[in-house]
Amino acid sequence: MDSTFIAIIILKLIYLLFDNIQPIHTLENGLAKTPPMGWLSWERFKCQINCHHYDDTNHNNNKLAGCISENLFTQIADTLVERGYQRAGYDRINIDDCWSKKSRELDDGHLLPDPDRFPNGIKYLADYMHERGLKLGMYQNYGHRTCMGYPGILGHLEQDVQTFADWDVDMIKLDACFSPKTSQLDSGYMKFRKIVDKTKRPMIISCSWPYYQVFASKVHIIPKWDLISMNCNLFRVFHDITSNWKVIQKIIDFMGDNQQIFRAITGPGSWPDPDMLMIGNAGLSVAQAESQMAIWCILPAPLFMSNDPRVMEPEFEKILLNSDAISINQDVNGEPGERFFHNTTMDLWRRSLSENQMALVILNRDFNQDLQISIPLEQIESNAFQHYQHVQVLNIFSNEKYQIRRQRMADNRTETYIKVIVEPTGCVFLKLTPLKN
């Protein structure tokens, strides 16, 4: 055989080897090693800037009370601390669109907050958060205007990022309404990331980059996923969420249908973002709220609530503060979850966790019928699991715990079932822990 030919074969083999063991590409800025958690104003408070109309002192009677203002963000911060959210891990408070003045300063083009709604400025708010063990996130947009018409970042990229750093901000969400060309988003977001690096301030980078490439413009292009995950700690992949189960189920389906793409770029430092938690808002039942929590934990996805924790019903607060659910979301391995069964009536999702544990979500997609199902343990477990004879099952939302023992059949196969009944649009969320024999 010709030696060049052999060399090519060897090179190809080496390439294949490396291709298989290639680590996933994540943004290595030391941040978001587990999915970030917190609260974001958008879905609940949108662009409510009329503080007289949306008076937040009146929230017992008016559930939409609150305008985009210092008052709202300090009240939410106090609530996150008082109600135990901050201790549970929800330690970020993020301001979305509509915080700034309608135009930049005439002399130097600086961006400033609306003086009536943010009388003490943004640095004051950042300090307020830091004093309480919280962090502050800000919003800008890669375009000349933000989605709601406030000054965008184009032409002021360095200046605005430095302004955020000077204010001691901890996270920047960069939206992309009215961006010039979807193809320019690649270079735009990469430049943004470099400028954030240059400030030396650790700021989580939240991108809307792939969403605008896939959905939000006339010219759709296929996102360069590796580039996105290497430049963003989290990145929005689908349309805005609303407090409606059908919308949430569409998002879950999108995540499952495209899991081959997303699983390859989910890991410490980089998280596909299916958008905010709607738990506690009118429009979702307790079962549906549990389903959203379970799927967001098993994906795993960033956990940013957009709700009003000041007026939360206790059954929803309990879901959001469920420490077993959160510990699955925050598992240090950062392995992606996997939808391993899907039809019109149910989804089965599993995820390998640290210490050989596993998480399992059985989602009932039907709107009317209970789902009764027995799932063979052998179908869901990882290899590491199969050596164990006993497995502890924790039902995360009901807090029931039981053990199952492997049943050995006459032909020496084992057959062990997990039996559940799942209510319509609800889920059963389990953590499986192998026990030493």
Ligand X SMILES: *[C@@H]1O[C@H](CO)[C@@H](O)[C@H](O)[C@H]1NC(C)=O
Distance CA(226)–CA(277), nearest Å, equals: 26
Distance linking the first and last C-alpha atoms of the chain: 55
What 3-state class would DSSP assign to 22? coil
CB under 6 A: which stretch of 14-22, 197-205, 288-296, 338-346 binds ligand X? 338-346
Report the residue from 323, 345, 354, 379 that binds ligand X according to the rule CB under 6 A: 345
β-bridge pairing 401-405 and 390-395: antiparallel
Q: What is the closest distance, in whole angstroms, from the C-beta atom of residue 387 to ligand X in the complex? A: 9
Look up 275 and say whether it is catalytic: no
Site string for ligand X, 134-163 (x = CB under 6 A): ------------------------------
Strand positions, DSSP E, 144-279: 171-175, 204-207, 234-236, 271-273
Measured from the CB atom, is 345 or 354 closer to ligand X? 345
> Cα dist. 430→54, 298, 374 in Å?
41, 10, 14
What is the smallest separation between the CB atom of 432 and ligand X, expressed in angstroms? 19
CB of 346: closest distance to ligand X in angstroms?
Answer: 6
Q: Looking at beta carbons only, is 219 or 410 nearer to ligand X?
A: 410
Lay out the site mask for ligand X across 397-426 (x = CB under 6 A, - = otherwise). Answer: ---------------x--------------
Q: How far is the CB of 362 from ligand X (least distance, A)?
A: 11
Q: In DSSP terms, which residues pair with 39 in a beta bridge?
A: 93, 305
Set 116, 166, 197, 240: catalytic member? 240
**Site stretch for ligand X (CB under 6 A), options 51-59, 292-300, 317-325, 344-352:** 344-352
Q: Which is nearer to ligand X, 20 or 344 (CB)?
A: 344
Which range, of 182-190, 200-208, 320-328, 343-351, touches ligand X by CB under 6 A?
343-351
Q: Would you say 135 and 73 are in contact if contact means Cβ atoms under 8 Å apart? A: no
Rounded distance between C-alpha atoms, residue 156 and residue 166, angstroms:
15
Count of residues near ligand X by CB under 6 A: 5
Q: Which is nearer to ligand X, 224 or 342 (CB)?
A: 342
- How does strand 234-236 pair with strand 37-40? unpaired
Q: Does 437 bind ligand X (CB under 6 A)?
A: no
The one catalytic residue in 91, 114, 170, 175 is 175
Q: Is 279 helix (H, G, I), strand (E, B) or coil?
A: coil
Distance of closest approach, residue 356 Cβ to ligand X, in angstroms? 17
C-beta of 112 vs 346, nearer to ligand X: 346
Tell me the C-alpha distance between 435 and 404, whole Å: 10
Rounded to whole angstroms, the Cα distance separating 274 from 254 reads 9
C-beta of residue 205 within 8 angstroms of C-beta of residue 173:
no
Position among 3, 4, 61, 344 found at the interface with ligand X (CB under 6 A): 344
Which range touches ligand X (CB under 6 A), out of 152-160, 197-205, 308-316, 340-348? 340-348
Q: Helices (H), strands (E): how many in the chain?
A: 15, 16
Judged by CB, which is closer to ligand X: 345, or 398? 345
Six-digit token string for 416 = 């062990």
Least CB distance to ligand X at residue 406 (A): 9
DSSP letter assigned to residue 238: S
User: Which residue matches tokens 């502890």?
Assistant: 392
The token pair that represents 134 in the structure block: 């919280």
Question: Which CB sits closer to ligand X, 117 or 365?
Answer: 365
Q: Which of 335, 343, 387 is nearest to 359 (CA)?
A: 335
DSSP β-bridge partners for residue 175: 141
Residue 370: CB minimum distance to ligand X, A: 12
**Interface of this chain with ligand X, residues 267 to 306, rule: CB under 6 A:** none
**In the numeric block, which tokens belong to residue 149?**
């018409």
Task: Give the range of 15-23, 69-77, 222-230, 337-345 binding ligand X by CB under 6 A.
Answer: 337-345
In whole angstroms, what is the distance from residue 321 CA to residue 327 CA?
11
Annotated active-site residue 175? The verdict is yes
Instruction: Choose, by CB under 6 A, the member of 4, 60, 343, 383 that binds ligand X.
Output: 343
Report which residue's Cβ sits closest to ligand X.
343
**Contact stretch for ligand X (CB under 6 A) within 46-54, 99-107, 246-254, 339-347:** 339-347
Task: Give the shortest CB-341-to-ligand X separation in angstroms.
Answer: 7
Closest Cα to residue 209, out of 277, 231, 218? 231
Find where tokens 């391995």 sit: 333
CB nearer to ligand X: pick between 346 and 394 = 346
| 8 Å CB contact between 261 and 25 | no
Catalytic residue list: 175, 240
Which residues make up the interface to ligand X (CB under 6 A)? Answer: 343-346, 412
